[in-house]
Each structure stands twice: as C-alpha cells, then as structure tokens.
Structure 1
C-alpha cells in the first residue's frame, strides 16, 4: 500500500476551512487506497485527518514520541501505532514509512517538518513528492518567501525546490499519484540519517 505522510497542526486553527480540508483529504486518501502516516495525535487537524481515513475504511499509521503521548492525546484506534524515543526518531520513521508528503495548515512544527523534508529533496537525498495544500491561501506567505529566496539567488538553478502547490485537498491525491509514478528510489537512506 502507498502511504502519504500528512504534516498538519495539532490544533483546529481559526478558519473552519482547515478542519474541513483535513476531513476531505482523509476521505479522499481512503477512497483511493492510500494509507496515512501522521504524527499520532487525536487533536486538531491531525486527529481530524486520521479519523476521516479510519471512518472511510483506510489504513492509518500513527507515529508519536513518548513525551507527546498525553499532550497530543495519542489516537489509539489506528491500524499501526509507533511510539518513538525522540522527535528525530519520529521524523525518520515517518520518512521511511511514507511514499510522499503533504502539508496542511499548521504551526511551527508543521513548518519545520515541511522545510526539512524539502531540504532533503533539494540536496538529492530523496525524490518523493512534496505537496503543499494551500487552503484559503494559508501558505501564501511561505510561498512568497520562497520566491524571494529565488530572486535573491539563495535558491539557485540546480538546487531548486521540488514543491507542488494545490488549493483543494482532493487535488492532493491526484498530484501524489501522478508524481509517485515518476519517483525513483535510487538514493540510499543512510545519507538522510546523517543529516539529523
């Protein structure tokens, strides 16, 4: 089974469209037979996308560090639950279990995960698809900053970011499937582990 890693907030956010997008994405993934890899919590967008996948008969892998089990109210009815010793182990396990990545709205943790996985791709450590779901222009400031980095020549030709941006959660699945067909897994995992 193909698995898509979803980075998103452990809170609901201010805009109801964010939770709606999490629900829609989870349903679309399950309907297309795509499993979910996510941060293991039951709160906010994280819990919403996981519960939507489960409610639609899909497969969910929750990966959570031990110190967040209570804080993020670990979702226990998932298909696979992995409790890690650290955040680094959690992120590496999420990477290893996933065929691609998508960012829904979220906070600093979501941003950090998105930037890290994008940096690994920029450095040719993997070729898995990375998608930003720009719900109600949530990620517009980041996309503006990335364009500014390009203009200022800190993101140069040859080391450009390989990001896909969609507006609707339903489009995430289509883009993921299209890009997955182009994915080649000829880069070993060891160099990625060394970046931690």
Structure 2
C-alpha cells in the first residue's frame, strides 16, 4: 500500500490567547511555535483566529509552510477575526464542538499563554486524560514562567487530596520552544 502523503506526520493542537498579552516574549514564542511546527512537517490545529497569540502562531506556521486546520464557532468569527486562508477551516455551532473537533484532529496538545479560554481548554483535556479518555501528550509552554502559578495550584490540589499525584504526570511543562520541540518529537516518535 503506498504511503499517504496528504496527511502530515502529526497534528499539533495549540491552545493559546486571543490577545497578545503584555510581554512581547509571548508573541515571539507563538511565532517560534508556528515555525517549529512547520519545520517538523506537522500540521497546526488551532482556534482559527487571526488575533493575539492565535494569529501569531497561525501566520508564522503558514509562512513557514505548515498545513493549518482552524476551528471556530460562528459567534466568534468577528471577535477573533476568523482566518479564512487556512488549509482547512471548520465553523462550529458552539465552543464545546470547537474543542471536540480540535481535540479529535490532533495527536498532541500544546498550551501557550492565554486567559480563561486557554485554561478551560487545558483543564478539559487534562480531565479527559485523568479519567482515561485519552493518552495524548499535553504540554504547557512555560515561557517566562507564565504557567508557574497554575503548576503551583495543581501541586496544591494534589497536596490537599483533591487529586491523585498521578494527575501531575498527565502534562509536561516545557521552558521554551526548543524544549517543546524535543518533547513533541519524543512523544510522537
């Protein structure tokens, strides 16, 4: 049977902010993530916005030649400036469907800096892993220590007996895009 070259080696779901944040290092990490995905021949799966870190990741991935798979609910097309020049654009009815489609079309999950939406996305895939619904690798890009308070909170949850310590092994914080690339390569090989 001939190889299927139409599908990338892997699809990386990136959850991140629809805002740029205050620290320009986060935007650069977003751009570097997009370039890294393309350099590895992977496909970007993301929220289809053209604003904030989402836009940085997508434009960078596209410019570097990556296939892009964007998923956005109808009600956010205007607010997140739905990016129509993607390889694939899926418009969903609601946020729940958006997350499900993104998850189903990815092999690994990466969470860049973001706000409540990014936290919601992270906790949903973490919970699904915790209850045994998937084994996809989850990475927190902890650039500039952005996720350190979240990691501390998760440690506190375990320390207080509201989760088993095994929960902490269901995601991996990585310090920068180089470490993220190495972790993704190891997880996807």
> TM tier, shorter chain?
over 0.9
* Structure 2 counterpart of 1:36: 44
* 1:135 Cα offset (Å): 1.2
Q: Is the 8 A contact 2:49 2:83 kept in 1?
A: yes
* Structure 2 counterpart of 1:73: 81
* Structure 2 counterpart of 1:147: 155
* 1:160 Cα offset (Å): 4.9
Cα distance in 2 for partners of 1:36, 1:110 equals 16
Name the SS for the 1:178 alignment partner: helix
Q: Could you list the runs of 5+ residues in structure 2 that have no partner in the other structure?
A: 1-7
* Structure 2 counterpart of 1:21: 29
Match of 1:89 among 91, 97, 113: 97
Q: Could you list the runs of 5+ residues in structure 1 that have no partner in the other structure?
A: 182-196
* Structure 2 counterpart of 1:101: 109
Cα distance in 2 for partners of 1:158, 1:71 equals 38
Cα distance in 2 for partners of 1:158, 1:9 equals 28
Cα distance in 1 for partners of 2:97, 2:165 equals 32
TM-score under structure 1 normalisation?
Answer: 0.89
Matched pairs, number: 181
- The C-alpha deviation readout for 1:137-167, integer Å capped at 9, x for no partner, is 1111000001111111212155554111111
Greater shift, 42-51 or 166-175, is seen at 166-175
TM-score under structure 2 normalisation?
Answer: 0.92
Cα distance in 1 for partners of 2:155, 2:186 equals 24
Displacement over 3 Å in runs of 4+: 157-161
Cα distance in 2 for partners of 1:129, 1:57 equals 24
* 1:180 Cα offset (Å): 2.4
Cα distance in 1 for partners of 2:162, 2:65 equals 44
- Computed over aligned residues only, the root mean square deviation of the Cα atoms, in angstroms, reads 1.1
* Structure 2 counterpart of 1:128: 136
